[in-house]
Amino acid sequence: MELAEAIILSVLAASTPLLIAATGELVTERSGVLNLGVEGMMIVGAACGFGGAWLTGSTIIGALCGIFAGTLLSLAFAAMTLGLAVNQVATGLALTILGIGLSGLIGAGFVGERITPAPHLHIPFVTDIPLVGRILFGEDGFVYLSLALVIAVWLFLYRTRAGLVLRACGDNHISAHALGYPVLRIRMFAVMFGGACAGLAGAYLPLAYTPFFIPGMTAGRGWIALALVVFSSWRPGRLVIGAYLFGAVTILQLHAQGAGLGIPSQFMSALPYLATVIVLVLISRARTGGSTAPAALGTVFVPDR
Amino acid sequence: MRKILIAAAAVMLTAGASLFSASAADKLKVGFIYLGPIGDLGWTYQHELARQALVKEFGDKIETTYLENVSEGPDSERSIEQLVRAGNKLIFTTSFGYMEPTLKVAKKYPNVHFEHATGYKRDKNMSTYSGRFYEGRYIQGIIAAKMSKSGVLGYIGSFPIPEVISGINATILGAQTINPNIKVKIIWANSWFDPGKEADAAKALLDQGADVIMQHTDSPAAMQIASERGKLAFGQDSEMIKFGPKAQLTSIMDNWAPYYIDRVKAELDGKWASEDTWGGLKSKLVVMAPYTNMPDDVKKLAEDTQAAITDGKLFPFKCPILGQDGKEVECKGGDHLADGQVLGMNFYVKGIDDKIPGK
Amino acid sequence: MQLVLEKRAERSNTIALVSPLIAIGLTIVTMSILFAILKKNPISALGVYFIDPLTDSYSLQEIAVKATPLVMIAIGLSLCYLANAWNIGAEGQFLVGAVAGSWLAVKTQGTDAGHWVLPAMLLLGAAAGALYALIPAICKVRFGASEILTSLMLVYVADLFLDYLVRGPWRDPAGFNFPTTAEFDPVATVPVLIEGGRLHLGAIIALVVVAAATVLLGRTIKGFEIRVVGAAPRAARFGGFNSKQLVLLTFAISGALAGLAGIIEVAGPVGHLQPGVSPGYGFTAIIVAFLGRLNPIGILIAGLFLALTFIGGEQAQIAMKIPLDVTKVFQGILLFYVLACDSLILYRFRLIFPSRQVSRGAG
């Protein structure tokens, strides 16, 4: 079943940026902050990531540049929403627009250049095992990193005290504050982590997926990542499933076309979004009296003294 | 404070106006509306190269301006009109979607001349121009059939418009002269430019057994993927060999420079008139990138075919053309399809096992 | 020593007046630095952006044309946001309204239909937009699902639906398979107000909407309810205001306005239905709503101002070769500064010095 293996490989690659960005946003939202600026942070990450790799010839430096760019932008967001108690929705949108504009300016000098794409893992013998060899042992670093990231986040959120405190900030910041936890500082770190992930996810696109930079190359993936977080009910495990599901729909839609199945492509493209709405409704119904979102998500918090 | 601002504004305006009037007397101002970024390495990039050729050719006699990333919606009309108001007398609008806006502005300013690419509506002061890209597709079809081991070609289409459909048909017709049983798999990216999607489409096509990739989209993503997997591909609009040094067989290059130079010269000489230009290999509007990564006999076959088309001895849409239902298509151009039939082509020829979306 | 933010006892009215000016001032400074980095003369650049478009009637008309959909949508959004209902899907409602109104235009194409066509199209557009907006509203009210995310997801669905229609069933048969409907008949087109320009009836409608919203918010019980439900939910409950009903109402109004803006834009400046009929109006309108501080007159000013930056940005591309991305950066930065300065209306900074073990109230 070579075709199945090939499809799985494509899906893995397509899903990876979604997974990385969504993981970061999941942590942010779990701490109670809704950052709609993921698309802006991703695209700035793409521009800076490509620039870094092109200037130095190293994928790793490119990735670090992407992470740095995303984090920096997220700090602006944090300063506004946490430092100045500004409305999170408006700030996130402003961040998106700012990010798109900035990436265009930064990336303008890089259009037309190409870099060597990120190397894929290759272990002699093991990678060549038919069917599973390339899937498990032949991916580029980002794919493994994305899975490691999700596992790390899961461990952090559910197996460490710090993670518990972070979740508390998201569920009830007033109580968390009363217990003496520095809610704003925790949220700031969560936002920065989200920014770092978004930047890394954005950098993945020019570093590994299509090794050149084009303005607007994120093509709305940031918004899909936001949908993913909700789709996954804010749980890392489900995030992986969701990301691969979204990636699969994208890839399978293309394969269906190639195979001559006559499903209108727009319908297939709309499926992930429709699915998200349905899932949102379902998970909100499951718990009486509200959704399973972090209860304090998106609300402004100014600690009183 | 307000008075100072107004005074400053007035000073700036008069300064600016005097700058404009001084130059307007001397130079012809030529404007361009681009759909994408000049760095798209594809469609817009080629128009930009032609613009640069204009600057080189006419030097001080002209002054060019371009607006990039102009979306085809209501904003485009304003962008075109702003070029007019900035003093441009010859304006090139480089995408089909600008047709209605260009027409509207053309009606408003009868003394300004407009050139619209790939459209079909004209006016006294509005010309249309396009390239017979399908001629290049025919050649590509021949090369692809020769080079494909699996007998399956992969085609990444943008939108199911006649220009793209005629390209697919020409490719298959050319390929069928080498391998009557050639197959093609078509994926629609629903965009002229979406590197991520094009890359995914290329992967899907290759995974499904195609081993030569052709595209009617603008980014080098597909070439890159083909190169990564050791397969072959054709570039589009511009040279994409840098993304696939061992993968690119050739590329259909849009060569707008000769046409642009022609039109600017006519404008400078006062001889501009509204025309409809549809040039191909003969008028060098369509140029093939060097034939690479193929054995010499294939190269010769390609070159011979190119010469035959250029000399008017070979027509890609030579009758009889059979539709998918096996019935012959009415032949309105004598021994080959008439231009109008190609311009409005919305059927697949026999040998393509697919349906045109939306039909 | 710490710098902390604390809530003021009362809104600061001085800051409320002054903050937009400070924000604009900060933005101009930041943009000047950006222009300097891009090696463009900051003064001329600012002039081209802000002053030049105000100097001739054509640009002024274009500003109004661009501002019309923005203001209409933003008014609707402001009603939602005041009630603490976050409609992020205005873009989708805009598209759905455009599609619904266009349906009638396509159906009556070429027939000798009377002048009832255009008003009917506008009504259809508004109704469709309202219904589409009710989907996320109902999801929130009945199921508790986040309206931010549901309304956002539906934007993509609307976009793809429009794409499907225009590439398939509604394609102009004489249009060589290009994805656009035929040009709308004159009875299906929004009339232009001044010959030679593009200023159209939509602008008047937008002004009417602004006036209506001002009256609604300032002088009606419903308007009062909307404002209270958002600002003081508990007080609203005591007052017997039904917040669920208000969510549905504000979403419906907002969707109707967005849908109306959509069909007006399609039947006016554009003249036919095509993909990409909105350059992100639904999202830009969110910025306009916030810039206008959720106040109808403020939104009118903010909408005109933002439209000015769009027009100025295009002129800057022509006159000074400044890339269009700069306009986006400018809008993002402006919003940042406005939001930041506005927060000082409700909050202020205080320096807290660590107190040495003074036992306050140790009693």
User: What is the per-residue pLDDT across A7-56, written as a single tens digit (0 to 9) for each?
Assistant: 888 898 889 999 999 999 999 999 999 999 999 999 999 999 999 998 88
Look at C7-16, C30-39, C351-360 and tell me which has the smallest mean pLDDT: C351-360
| pLDDT value for C363 | 41
Per-residue confidence (pLDDT) for residue A304, from 0 to 100: 62
Chain B residues whose CB is inside 8 A of the A250 CB are 200
List the single residue in B with minimal CA-CA distance to A204: B196
Residues of A with CB under 8 A from a CB of B: 2-3, 6-7, 10, 14, 108, 111-112, 114, 117, 205, 209-212, 214-215, 217, 219, 250-251, 254-255, 257-260, 262, 264-266, 269
Q: Decide if B223 contacts B191 (C-beta within 8 A).
A: no
Cβ neighbours of residue B138 under 8 Å, at least 6 residues apart? B170, B171, B173, B174, B305, B309, B316
Is the pLDDT reported for residue A291 higher than 50? no
Residue A290 has pLDDT above 50, yes or no: no
pLDDT at A28: 95
The nearest alpha carbon in chain C to B343 belongs to: C176
Q: What is the DSSP string of A57-105?
A: S-HHHHHHHHHHHHHHHHHHHHIIIIIS---HHHHHHHHHHHHHHHHHH
Tell me the CATH number of domain B134-253+288-343, given options 3.40.50.2300, 2.60.40.1260, 1.10.287.3240, 1.20.1070.10: 3.40.50.2300
Give the residue from A41, A100, A277 with the most C CB atoms within 10 Å of its CB, the best one to mutate. A277
Is the confidence at residue C265, as pLDDT, over 70? yes
With an 8 Å Cβ cutoff, are A284 and C157 in contact? Answer: no
What is the pLDDT, as a whole number, of residue C301? 93
pLDDT at position B17: 45
Least confident stretch, A8-22, B88-102, C149-163, C183-197: C183-197
Tokens of B261: 């130079």
Are C75 and C67 in contact by the 8 Å Cβ rule? The answer is: no
Distance CA B262, CA B63 (A): 16
Instruction: State the smallest CA–CA distance between residue B101 and chain C in angstroms.
Output: 8
Q: Which of A115-129, C221-235, C346-360 has the highest mean pLDDT?
A: C221-235
Q: Quick check: A266 and B190 CB within 8 A?
A: yes
Report whether C291 contacts C302 (CB < 8 A): yes
Better-scored residue on pLDDT, A287 or C110: C110
Rounded Cα gap, residues B30 and C110, in angstroms: 38
- Contacts of A228 by beta carbon, 8 Å cutoff, 6+ apart: A18, A19, A22, A239, A242, A243, A246, A276
pLDDT for C164 equals 82
Nearest CA in chain A to C335: A94
Q: How much is the pLDDT for B22?
A: 41
Does residue C296 carry a pLDDT above 60? yes
Nearest-angstrom CA–CA distance, B261 and B53: 8
User: In chain B, whose CA is at the least distance from the CA of C276?
Assistant: B73
Please tell me the predicted confidence (pLDDT) of residue A40.
Answer: 94
Q: What is the pLDDT of residue B90?
A: 94
3-state helix, strand, coil in chain B (%, to 5): 45, 20, 35
| C3 bridge partner residues | C351
Nearest CA in chain B to A6: B207
B208/A111 Cβ within 8 A = no
Cβ B169 vs Cβ B157: under 8 Å: no
User: What's the mean pLDDT in C157-171?
Assistant: 83
What is the arithmetic mean of pLDDT over C248-277?
Answer: 89
For residue B320, say if its preceding peptide bond is cis, omega within 30 degrees of 0: yes
Which residues are CB-neighbours of A145 under 8 A, at least 6 positions away?
A20, A200
Sequential DSSP letters for C154-200: HHHHHHHHHHHHHHTTT--TTTTT-SSPPPPPGGGSPPBSSTTS--B
> Which H helix or E strand runs over B284?
none
Determine contact, residues C199/C65, Cβ cutoff 8 Å: yes
Asked whether residue A264 carries a pLDDT value surpassing 80, the answer given is: no
Can you tell me the mean pLDDT for C47-63? 85
Round to whole Å and give the CA distance between B359 and C266.
25
Q: Give the helix, strand, coil percentages of chain C, each rounded to 5.
A: 70, 5, 25
Q: Quick one: pLDDT at residue B113?
A: 95
DSSP C326-354: HHHHHHHHHHHHHHHHHHHHHEEEEEEPP
Judged by phi (left if over 0) then psi (alpha if -120 to 50, else beta), residue B347 lies in: beta
For residue C362, name the pLDDT band (cuts at 50, 70, 90).
very low
Q: How far is CA C38 from CA A106, C43, C234, C323, in A?
A: 11, 13, 51, 10
For residue B30, the cross-strand partners are B64, B90
> Helices B74-85 and B99-108 meet at what angle, rounded to 10?
40
pLDDT: is A161 or B15 the higher one?
A: A161
Percent of chain A with pLDDT over 90: 36
Give me the pLDDT at residue A292, please: 61
Pair B240, B218: CB distance under 8 Å: no
Q: Give the number of other Cβ atoms within 10 Å of residue B19's Cβ.
A: 11
Rounded to whole angstroms, how far apart are CA atoms A28 and A44?
Answer: 19
The rounded mean pLDDT for chain C is 85
Query: What mean pLDDT comes out for the span A89-114?
Result: 85
Q: Which of A212-216, A290-294, B332-336, C89-93 has the highest mean pLDDT?
A: C89-93
- The answer to whether the Cβ–Cβ distance between A94 and C339 falls below 8 Å is yes
- Decide if B246 touches C, using CB distance below 8 A: no
> Does the pLDDT value for residue C288 go beyond 70?
yes
Asked if the Cβ–Cβ distance from A212 to B196 is below 8 Å, we say: no
Q: How many residues does chain A have?
A: 305
Residues in chain B predicted with pLDDT less than 50, given as ranges, are 7-8, 10-11, 13-24
Which of these, A38, A39, A56, A50, lies nearest to A106 by C-alpha position? A50
Which residue in this structure is represented by tokens 């950066």?
C329
Rounded to two decimals, the pTM is 0.83
The pLDDT of C255-265, averaged and rounded, is 94
User: Packing angle between helix B74-85 and helix C57-82, nearest 10 degrees?
Assistant: 150
Highest mean pLDDT, choosing among B52-61, C229-238, C335-344: B52-61
- How many whole angstroms separate alpha carbon A280 and alpha carbon A142? 29
Q: Which of A266, A267, A269, A287 to mutate: most C Cβ within 10 Å?
A: A266
pLDDT at A136 over 60: yes
A240-265 per-residue burial string, b: 16 or more CB within 10 A, e: under 16? bebbbbbbbbbbbbbbbbbeeeeebb
**Which two structure tokens, joined as six digits, stand for C99?**
């599609």
Å from B258 to nearest chain C CA? Answer: 25
Q: Which residues, other chains included, contact C314 with Cβ-Cβ below 8 Å and sequence gap of 6+?
A: B67, B75, B78, B79, B82, C324
**Cα nearest neighbour of C346 on chain A:** A85
A2-286 CATH? 1.10.3470
Residue (of C197, C211, C169) closest to C65 by Cα position? C197
Query: Would you say B65 and B86 are in contact if contact means Cβ atoms under 8 Å apart?
Result: yes
Average pLDDT over residues A164-187: 90
- Which top CATH class is B25-131? alpha beta
**HEC string of B38-79?**
HHHCCHHHHHHHHHHHHHHHHHHHEEEEEECCCCCCHHHHHH
Task: Identify which of A10, A211, A266 has the shortest CB distance to residue B204.
Answer: A10
All residues of chain C having their beta carbon less than 8 Å from the beta carbon of residue A40 are 332
Q: What are phi and psi of B231, to 5 degrees?
A: -105, 180
Single-letter code of the amino acid located at A118? A
Shortest Cα distance, chain C CAs vs residue A18, angstroms: 16
DSSP code at position B322: B
